[in-house]
C-alpha cells in the first residue's frame, strides 16, 4: 500500500472477498466456516485435497475486493451490486473478527480496506476456488406453490409437431429418389439439388 509492504503470509490462503449488497451475517458465518475447513492441502502422505488451512496451521491473508461484484454492461463494469463502502468496511471487519475467533488470530492477516493495493499471489498449482454463499432458502409452502404453477403451465402446453418433423418421422419409400440413404441429415448422392 503506497509502496510499503503492510502484510504478508507464508503457506496458506489468500482470500479475495467481494461483499454484495445482499450479504448478511448468515453469509458471513458460512464463508468463515468454508474458508477455514476447505480441504485444499495435501496430508503427510502426499494425498491431495485432504487437509484444511486449520489442519495445517497455515495463514490466511484477506483482501477486500469490491470488483468481484462486477456485472458487465456491454464492455463497462458496473459495481452497483457491491455493498456501499461504509457498510462494507463494517462487514469486512466483522468477517476478520469472526475468522480470528474461529482460528488463531495471529494467523489471520489483511490488507488495508479501501486502499489501492498491489497484491502479489503465488498460486501453488495453481489452485483458485470460487466460493459463493448459499442461495436464500425458499419457504416450502412457496416452493410447492411455484411447483404447482409450473405443472399447470406444462399441462396447458400442447405439443404439435411441425411440418418438417412430421416429414422426418414419416416412413420413407425405398423407391423415392429424394429419400435419405442413412442417418438423419445424411443426404444421398443420388438426390438432386
Q: What is the DSSP string of 88-149?
A: HHHHHHHHHHHHHHHS-GGGEEE--TTS--------SSS------PPPPPPPHHHHHHHHHH
Q: How far is CA 109 from the centre of its chain?
A: 24
pLDDT at position 155 is 54
Owner of C-alpha cell 509492504: 5
Owner of C-alpha cell 483482501: 63
- Residue 43 has what DSSP assignment? -
> Which parts of the chain register pLDDT below 70?
135-193
Residues recognised as catalytic:
67
pLDDT at position 159 is 46
- Count of CB atoms within 10 A of residue 13's CB? 19
- β-pairing, 76-78 vs 71-73, is antiparallel
Inter-CA distances, 83 with 86, 120, 139, Å: 8, 25, 26
Owner of C-alpha cell 497455515: 58
Inter-CA distances, 76 with 31, 46, 52, 116, Å: 29, 44, 38, 20
pLDDT at position 138 is 45
- Identify the CATH class of 12-121: alpha beta
CA distance linking residue 125 with residue 10, whole number of Å: 15
Question: Which of 33, 37, 32, 41 lies closest to 12, judged by CA?
Answer: 41
- What's the chain's average pLDDT? 81
pLDDT at position 187 is 38
Amino acid at each position: 500500500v503506497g509502496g510499503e509492504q503492510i502484510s504478508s503470509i507464508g503457506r496458506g490462503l489468500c482470500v479475495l472477498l467481494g461483499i454484495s449488497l445482499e450479504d448478511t451475517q448468515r453469509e458471513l458465518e458460512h464463508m468463515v466456516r468454508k474458508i477455514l475447513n476447505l480441504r485444499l492441502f495435501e496430508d503427510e502422505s502426499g494425498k491431495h485435497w485432504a487437509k484444511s488451512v486449520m489442519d495445517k496451521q497455515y495463514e490466511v491473508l484477506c483482501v477486500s475486493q469490491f470488483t468481484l461484484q462486477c456485472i458487465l454492461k456491454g464492455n463497462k463494469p458496473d459495481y452497483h451490486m457491491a455493498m456501499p463502502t461504509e457498510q462494507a468496511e463494517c462487514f469486512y471487519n466483522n468477517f476478520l473478527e469472526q475468522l480470528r475467533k474461529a482460528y488463531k488470530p495471529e494467523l489471520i492477516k489483511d490488507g488495508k480496506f479501501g486502499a489501492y493495493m498491489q497484491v502479489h499471489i503465488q498460486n501453488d498449482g495453481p489452485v483458485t476456488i470460487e466460493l459463493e454463499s448459499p442461495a436464500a432458502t425458499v419457504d416450502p409452502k412457496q416452493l410447492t406453490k411455484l411447483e404447482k404453477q409450473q405443472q399447470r403451465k406444462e399441462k396447458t402446453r400442447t405439443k404439435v409437431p411441425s411440418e418438417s418433423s412430421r416429414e422426418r418421422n414419416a416412413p420413407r419409400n425405398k423407391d423415392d429418389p429424394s429419400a435419405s440413404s442413412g442417418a438423419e441429415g445424411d443426404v444421398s448422392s443420388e438426390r438432386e439439388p
